Amino acid sequence: MTKEKEMAKVQKIEDLPGVGPAMVDKLGEAGYKDVMSIAAASVGELRDATGMGEAAAKKLIMAAQDSCDMGFETGTEVMKKRELVGKLTTGSSEFNKILGGGVESQAITELYGKFAAGKTQLTHQLSVNVQLPVSEGGLDGKALYIDTEGTFRPERINQMASALNLDTEEALANIMVGKAYNSDHQMLLAEKAGEMAKTENIKLIVVDSLMGHFRSEYVGRGTLADRQQKLNRHLATLGKIADSRNLPVVITNQVMAQPGLLFGDPTAPIGGHIVGHKSTFRLYLRKGKADKRVAKLVDSPHLPEAECLFSITENGVSD
């Protein structure tokens, strides 16, 4: 059998050469659930996670890479893929404008800001809006909501759905909610989200919030490397789902103060460079007067920095 035919047969981790049931369990416990996750791993990560030798880890990674399509594609092919990108309305035309039309599919959009900045309100609104027809700014699909802080409120969904003349019972039934009790459970729910996206009409994945469990479980500088490695895998999983299933992933993030900063806003998102690099779009939300909120596009691959005002009322997000 030729190498090409042999690699074409590789669908699951257990299909890789030299991987038995015990190794599948070890890899699974370490967060490696599919061939692509192994192909994207470093030798050191795989060695530390499984206890296998460096040579064996390298051989396994190479076998996984050979079985995955990890080569180059032309700019024309990339452009064709970009033509499939969907735009999900935020509910505010001004907000949509700074995002180039709405929240993009095939991307991770990060919302960060202080308490009461409107992050969770916006994720609730997006979970309703995604159910709208494409002609009305939706993606005609369901939402999957990973709740890490117990902030999901069906009552709020009812208010927002009613304002859009949607059936409230149907709107709630179209949102799958998973409550994560720790960072491992959070990562597991993200993997399950990928599986569900293959069979259900999932068009939006929300993680509210990304860093809550990671921040509380990994305390002190000594745990930083482990936390960031784990966080990197989690975001890689979410990014892969966004790209392969052509849907938007929206994450909310907590902030910290930088007391040493003498000029400008001392508020910064947590999670370090890992979150910064993995997020396609970064939006800083802050509270304005009354029901007003300010959204600032801080980072984007192709859009300029921009800022807008939007409102959060009983009916939801609007101009």
* All structural domains of the chain with their residue ranges: 3-67, 79-318
Residue 150 has a CB neighbour count (10 Å cut-off) of 10
Domain spanning 3-67, CATH architecture: Orthogonal Bundle (1.10)
CATH classification (class only), 79-318: alpha beta
Whether the Cβ atoms of residue 228 and residue 45 lie closer than 8 Å to each other:
no
The tens place of each residue's pLDDT in the chain, 319 residues long, gives 444 444 445 778 999 988 889 888 888 887 787 887 888 788 888 888 888 899 999 999 988 888 877 778 899 999 999 999 999 999 999 999 999 999 999 999 999 999 999 999 999 999 999 999 999 999 999 999 999 999 999 999 999 999 999 999 999 999 999 999 999 999 999 999 998 998 999 999 999 999 999 999 998 888 888 899 899 989 999 998 999 899 999 999 999 876 665 566 668 898 989 999 999 999 999 999 999 999 999 999 999 999 999 999 999 999 9
To the question of pTM greater than 0.75 for the whole model, the response is yes
